[in-house]
Amino acid sequence: MDIAVTGASGLIGSALTTALRGDGHVVRPVGRRPSEDPRAVLWDPAAGRIDAAALEGVDAVVHLAGAGIGDKRWTAARKREIEESRTKGTDLLARTLAGLDRGPATLLSGSAIGYYGDRGDEQLTEESSPGDDFLARVAQRWEEAATPASDAGIRTVLLRTGVVLTARGGALGRLLPLLRLGVGGRLGSGRQWWSWISLDDEVGAIRHLLSADDVAGPVNLVAPEPATNAEITRALGAGLHRPTMLPVPRFGPSLLYGSEMADLVVFVSQRIVGERLAASGYTFTHRDVDSVAAAVAAGR
């Protein structure tokens, strides 16, 4: 297939493009800066510009671009950037694809389990209602922005990605070094549910969904066995052969990130099941926390 990928230089995007090329697909990275790659596609979401002609004839688009949720402390300006980098980019891409003479058959558009908000121990599926906090509202508007593509008959899948566990960064970027030193532990009470997915399975699920022609709409990209933060921390410690006896007090992340960001990124509890991914026949590489902890300890 000929596949365009936004966010191709990010954590998920870079792993995905490598895998897709390994599968024999043609990959067209969509980015804001000129590239030496002759297949690269230029766009500027903030300015509403995209090289539509370069997207003519592609078979599928994977849209992963967006400002990092946890990269910087939230200010009013940063929160606006988080939202607009998703909504404006998705709207521009969806409308562009809808207007092509030879548009793609498939759009896999990024989203997140933040859609559901903080739900404690409640078990959630793709049919569950949305939350009403900042990240939940961002996810709802992000998904709504993809509507022009689905209205144009493009099979549109909304990738509600969970907490991606990998040694390469992401959610473990700050925690893993502490665990390697043996000075890390659960975050706060540790009772909050983290619906996680390994980077291997995130990439594997996206590759699977590119050809799962009967799947459309929201799909939760989470492992079959959600776990609490305490359970994940213990498994990572065991995989690294390090103790995890020093809990991180709740006030620590709150001081570092601000209370709103800490509450919605670190302490949020989301117990989510990926019913649609399972029904589509995807086979997980990492189903439980012990398996993914071993992968993280091995540097994956």
- What's the pLDDT tens digit per position in 52-95? 999 999 999 999 999 999 989 999 999 999 999 999 999 999 99
For residue 274, the model assigns a pLDDT of 97
Domain of 244, CATH number, reads 3.40.50.720
**At residue 36, does pLDDT exceed 90?**
no
Alpha helices in the chain (DSSP H): 11-22, 76-98, 134-144, 147-151, 175-181, 199-210, 229-240, 251-257, 259-261, 275-279, 289-297
As given in the structure block, the two tokens for residue 204 are 């594997």
What contacts 14, CB < 8 A, 6 or more positions away? 8
Interatomic CA distance for residues 276 and 104, integer angstroms: 22
| pLDDT score of 161 | 98
Q: Which residues contact 288 (CB under 8 A, 6 or more apart)?
A: 223, 224, 225, 227
For the chain, the distance separating the N- and C-terminal CA atoms, rounded to the nearest angstrom, is 27
Mean pLDDT of all residues in 38-51: 96
CA distance 121 to 109: 28
CA distances from 105 to 20, 53, 57, 149 (A): 17, 16, 10, 10
Summarize the confidence of residues 196-217 as an average pLDDT.
Answer: 98
> Would you place residue 34 in the very low, low, confident or very high pLDDT band (cuts 50, 70, 90)?
confident
Q: Which of 92, 38, 62, 80 is nearest to 209 (CA)?
A: 62
- Domain around 87: 2-297
- H helices present in 145-248, as ranges: 147-151, 175-181, 199-210, 229-240
Q: What is the mean pLDDT of the chain?
A: 96
**Amino acid found at 297:** A
Does an H or E element contain 161, and which?
A: strand 155-161
25-39 average pLDDT score:
94
Instruction: Give the 3-state secondary structure of residue 182.
Output: coil
The count of structural domains within the chain is 1
Local structure of 184: helix, strand or coil: coil
Query: What's this model's pTM, rounded to 2 decimal places?
Result: 0.96
* Percentage with pLDDT > 90 across the chain: 95
Q: Is 152 exposed, middle or buried (0-12, 13-18, 19+ CB in 10 A)?
A: middle
